[in-house]
Structure formats: structure tokens, C-alpha cells
A and B are shown apart, each in its own frame.
Chain A
């Protein structure tokens, strides 16, 4: 059961981690489709 619990924990950690990485990777619709003169988040 330890391996199972560790794996489920890893799923959670990977999910949170990938969310942080992807946010900074510049692939959001905002980043991909707007130019520097567009300020959607302001």
C-alpha cells in the first residue's frame, strides 16, 4: 500500500508542479495570441 500512497502523492505533486511550470512557459492563450501592447490582466 505504501507504493500506492506514494504514487498518488506523486500525482498530486506533479499536477501542482506542472501547473506552476506551464504558467511560466508562455503557452497560455493570452501569451500566444496577444502582442505586447495588449494588457489583458490589468
Chain B
């Protein structure tokens, strides 16, 4: 009776093991454990194939034949196993080159990066920028230029001091240069080389790289200046709710009251600060290759907090090759830059052709009093109160 019970349990356990194997690992006995035609076809269909049956098949030094025996000098790993270890970056490689990436002989993640960079990144990035321009053109056609409603007074009010305008243009000028040279770098192989040829692009690429690497410091300095000068005016307050509820008065008559910056400008400000900081940090990581590695640590945190799971990304890899750190930094840098470019296109539109009197604030620094009363009524009151307290003459008349 006991024997029968043990036999039954053993049989059941074999069945369950067999089932588990069927469910998780395909039968590769026909190829001796190597990949099968089904694996290759699945990969070609773009499906995720569990590579562990290859990445872990890198030989076993412990069961190596003696040195004098046949194949003994291979140390327990056949040539294919050695190549697999190199491909999956588990081989013990020593190099006289002291660079951190020197011991990675085959960088398996590079192809995924290359495909994403010239595929979805470039395509959706271009859609975003073109889409933003189309929306702005439509907005201009429907709404037209936002003009000053009331009669102009001829009085001017100082809106931005010299140092504020300097900081703004330091950030703006460098961002435009960085945006253009970044786009040249991203779309070089796909668009510019087919259009203008290798020689013309080589010249452009070398210049773009120089400008992009060196102008970045002006951008970071401008970002810090703008943050320090304007953060106090960009903290959210009650007026923002009213401003947002009225849609900024864009499609209605009259303007909701606003302080120095309205809710729309505050959103631009915080977008620039958050995206600009993210672009700066990832940019620094790219400026000093392999020195600042952030992604493995970030992925580990996202895994630990369960954020990657909640976003449906599964378990993110916590060990990355040095190149992969750079590749993720490049992708992140480009994605954040595309977002910032879209935001800035809208900012440039509303600051120039989109609104009468807006550009004065950043060129001469002085705005028409009527413009200020319509768009920043609470700020005008503040300025007037301050001036009547100290002097009778309005500033910068």
C-alpha cells in the first residue's frame, strides 16, 4: 500500500514537472539545446524569446578535462560557449586598455538602442515637432493675433531687468543652438546624408558636435539664472486656478487677473526647469562618457518601488553594460529635448507673432502699460503701489 502511494506521488510529481517544463521552456532536444527554428522565427516576429538557455550555456570550468586530455586546454568551455559568454558579457576579459568599456567585446544591447533611436525616437519626435507647428498655425488661423484690447497709453512699465533678460536670452540662445545641432545629430544618417551626401554632412556633424558640447554650459548657466531669478514668482497660488478655469481668456473677452507670471507662463517655467534639468544631467553623463552612470540605479529604484511593474514594464535590468548606460542617457536626453522643443515652440509663438506687445518684455524690457493691465493686472497694481511709495514717476516712462 505504501509503495503504491509513493509510486503515485512520484508519478504525479513527474507529470507536474513535465507540465511546468512544457509551459516555460520549449523542447530543444532536436538541436541538442541550441536554438531552434521556432526560436529564430519568434525573434523575427519581434516576440520576446527567453535567451537564458543561451546566455547561461557558457561552459563549466569545474568539469573541464585535464590539460593533457583532448580539448583540455579549453578549460571546460567550448568555442561556442566562449563566444556566448562574450556576447552576453559574462566572460572574464582582461585588457591593457584602461577604459571602463574596454572589457565589453560584444555589446548586445547596442542593436536595440540603434533601432529605437532611428525608429520610434526619430519618427515620433518629428511627429511631435511638426504636430506642434501645425497646431500653432491652426491656432493662429482660428484665433488670430491676440491684440491689446484697450487704448494704448504710451506709458511703459519695466517688466524685466537687464539681468533677467540676459539670463533669458542666455538660455534661449543656447537652447536654439542645442536644439538645431541635436536634430542634426539625430537625423544625420536618416535624412541629411541621403539628402546632402556624406561629405557635406561630415562637415556639418563635426561643427554640430563642437557647438552642442560647448554651448551646453551656457544653457546650464542660463537655466540656473532663470530658476534663481523667477522661482519666487512661479510658485502656484489661488489666482492660477481662476486663470486656468477661464482658459487664460484666450477664447473669451476680458483677461483673468494675473501676477507677474500667469498660470500658462508658470507651466512653461516649470516645464523648462524640470525638462532642462533632466536634459542637463543626462547631457553631462554623455559629455563625460562612463563617468556618470544613472540608469542601472534608477531602474533598481523603479523595481523596488514597484513603479516599473505598475507601468507594465516588468522587471527592469539592474545590471547594465557601460555602453548601455550611455545609450539610455542618449535616448532620455533626446526624448526630454523633443518635449522641451515642443513647449518652447509654443512659447516662441505666443511671445512673438501670437500676441501684440509681448515681445517688448524681453527685447527692451519695457511693456505698454495697457498690455500689462490686460495680461498682468495684479502685477501692475503691485508695481504701481511700490512706485507711489517711493517716487511719483512711473518707472521707465
Contacts and interface: CB of A to CB of B under 8 A. Distances in A.
B is a partner of A: yes
Interface of A: 1-4, 6-8, 10-11, 14-16, 18-19, 22, 27, 29, 32-35
Contacts of B222: 7
Contacts of B299: none
Given A16-B214, A27-B291, 20 more contacts: A1-B363, A1-B364, A2-B162, A3-B169, A4-B362, A6-B166, A7-B165, A7-B169, A7-B173, A10-B218, A11-B170, A14-B214, A14-B215, A15-B214, A18-B216, A19-B213, A22-B213, A22-B214, A29-B99, A29-B289
Nearest to A10: B170
A1 B290 CA distance: 41
Contacts of A1: 363-364
A10 B225 CA distance: 13
Interface of B: 96-99, 102, 162, 165-170, 172-174, 177, 210-211, 213-218, 221-222, 287-291, 362-365
Nearest to A14: B218
Contacts, number: 73
B215 A4 contact: no
25 contacts: A1-B364, A3-B162, A3-B168, A4-B169, A7-B167, A8-B173, A10-B166, A10-B170, A11-B173, A11-B174, A11-B215, A14-B215, A14-B218, A14-B221, A15-B214, A18-B214, A18-B217, A19-B210, A27-B287, A27-B291, A32-B98, A33-B97, A34-B97, A34-B98, A35-B97
Contacts of B162: 2-3
B99 A33 contact: yes
A3 B211 contact: no
A4 B96 contact: no
A6 B96 CA distance: 48
Contact of A7 (B96, B170, B210, B215): B170
Given A27-B288, A33-B102, A14 B166 contact: no
A6 B225 CA distance: 15
Say what secondary structure dominates the interface of chain A.
helix
Contacts of A16: 214
Given A10-B166, A33-B98, A4 B217 contact: no
A33 B97 CA distance: 6
B165 A4 contact: yes
Nearest to B219: A11
Nearest to B163: A3
Contacts of A14: 214-215, 217-218, 221
Q: Which 10 A-B pairs have the closest CB atoms?
A: A7-B169, A3-B165, A33-B99, A15-B214, A14-B218, A7-B170, A11-B218, A4-B169, A18-B217, A3-B166
